[in-house]
Amino acid sequence: MTPPPAIRLRQVAAGYPGRPVLRGVDLELQPGEMAGVLGPNGAGKTTLFRVLAGLLPCAAGQTEIFGRSQAELPARDRARLVGVVPQSLESPMPFTVEEMVLMGRTAVLERWQAPGSADYAVAERVMAETDVLRLRDRVFSALSGGEKQRTLMAMALAQEPRLLLLDEATAHLDLRHRLDILDLVTRLNRETGVTVLMISHDWTLTAACCPRLLLLDDGRLTADGPPETVMGGGEIARAFQCELRMLRDDTGTLHVIPVRKTAVSATAAVPEKTPASGGRVHVYTGSGKGKTTAAAGLALRALGAGFRVYFGQWLKARPSAELEMLARVGGSRLVLERFGTGKWVGKNPPPEESAEAMRGLAAAQAALASGRFDLVVLDEACPAAFFGLVPASALTDLIRTRPPQTELVFTGRGAPPDLLELADLVTEMREVKHYFTTGLDARSGIEF
């Protein structure tokens, strides 16, 4: 006998007083499927999850979870079937991480029954899988946003549900933990058959792990199918009001890059150009954070537009998250090199650091002389000149001798005055704390 769908929605309408959101949604998700939900802000994604979790009744239509009507499903049975990882959750009580995770076992315990050894074993396993085991005695409310999100993931996994709903569950995570969580969910889906429905604004990662994508727009399901079909269709471009470009890297991974229709500043996009047009010189300098991030974003957009990119990073001890992402996306159009010992701190660089910087300079000269690259980025070249690791005149010589069509980017504090004089665009990053810096309220973006 064929098992009933994990999710079945028939002409579902739902919303809030005076504000309808979902409008006639039809959807079936089979047991063991893994699907991603895309859509602009306000499209109805979280409302859909509230309906599936039994937190919001339908105004019309019918919702079934594993063949049982959601409206008639007792809360205890629902908790055994459905695990939810929300965008955020705050606790007014000083519960520890371990206590929060053990709350996920409530559905399998009898009333007033204390967790047993088997429950503690499950909690320990999922805490290890989500990398919060070392935080088990920390108070949940004192954690960072990413640590809280991993704790909520562990709590949902502790339920051992048949259906897992992830509402932007990776939004607050750094790159490593984002990949770890998605790898974990993909493995659980494959090995245990848990059905997964996830909301995400990270299109590339969603397309990489979900064989099926759903697009919600204005409360309606407007596209449903494999990632390339949904991403390549006109519906998603209309929903987000932007052009999308898709590319596959050397590993076969699909990458989706939004392209703005209007011209934007050099901090965001590579100007449209033909090989005959002149390339510009950009300098990202100043004492604030974000210089490498801005240059990496420029390189990412260039790769998405089909340009060839050389990215040389000087003085850094280890690859940054931005460069790890570039390496995943770049494929054959990207050459990424690093130069630096990682041992230098202060104003007196050791001889080996000077040698590394000179290697970086020679590599940059070779990259420009080859004429192969549309964009050349020299990350932290400015402080290399400021501290005398390379002659400042060598950087200005790169500008004068480069192929005329090549875009050239320098980053780092202490940009030489002659370099600034020759640059077409200079962006100064000021000392502004990032929103994730402990002890500060959120700020909207970075001030330039």
User: Residue 344's pLDDT band (boundaries 50, 70, 90)?
Assistant: low
Using the predicted structure, report yes or no on whether residue 389 has a pLDDT greater than 50. Answer: yes
Q: What is the pLDDT of residue 249?
A: 66
Q: Amino acid identity of 380? A: E
Which residues, 6+ apart, have CB-to-CB distance to 404 below 8 Å?
278, 279
CA–CA dist 309, 314 (Å, integer)? 16
CA–CA dist 447, 431 (Å, integer)? 9
Give the pLDDT confidence of 1-60 residue by residue, as tens digits: 788 999 999 999 999 888 889 999 999 999 999 999 998 888 899 899 999 998 899 999
CA–CA dist 200, 197 (Å, integer)? 10
Q: What is the pLDDT of residue 68?
A: 92
CA–CA dist 14, 58 (Å, integer)? 5
Mean pLDDT score, 166-179: 79
CB of 350 closer than 8 Å to CB of 344: yes
For the sheet containing 60-65, what is the strand order?
19-29, 7-16, 60-65, 68-69
Q: What is the pLDDT of residue 338?
A: 85
Q: What is the pLDDT of residue 259?
A: 65
Burial of 198 (0-12, 13-18, 19+ CB in 10 A): buried
Using the predicted structure, report yes or no on whether residue 415 has a pLDDT greater than 50. Answer: yes
CA–CA dist 204, 240 (Å, integer)? 15
Angle formed at CA 331 by CA 330 and CA 332, multiple of 5 degrees? 115
Both structure tokens of 139: 């108070």
Using the predicted structure, report yes or no on whether residue 437 has a pLDDT greater than 80. Answer: no
pTM above 0.85, yes or no: no
Using the predicted structure, report yes or no on whether residue 61 has a pLDDT greater than 70. Answer: yes
CA–CA dist 281, 287 (Å, integer)? 20
Domains and CATH numbers, the chain: 7-256 (3.40.50.300), 281-428 (3.40.50.300)
CB of 303 closer than 8 Å to CB of 329: yes
Mean pLDDT score, 269-296: 70
CB of 219 closer than 8 Å to CB of 45: no
Using the predicted structure, report yes or no on whether residue 348 has a pLDDT greater than 60. Answer: yes
**What sign has the CA pseudo-torsion 378, 384, 390, 393?**
positive
CA–CA dist 341, 359 (Å, integer)? 12
Q: What is the pLDDT of residue 51?
A: 93
CB of 308 closer than 8 Å to CB of 373: yes
CB of 70 closer than 8 Å to CB of 12: no
Helices 392-401 and 351-370: angle between axes, nearest 10 degrees: 10
Look over the chain and give the mean of its residue pLDDT values, rounded to a whole number. Answer: 82
More confident residue, 220 or 111: 220
**% of the chain beyond a pLDDT of 70:** 88
Give the pLDDT confidence of 229-243 residue by residue, as tens digits: 888 778 888 888 777
CB of 307 closer than 8 Å to CB of 374: yes
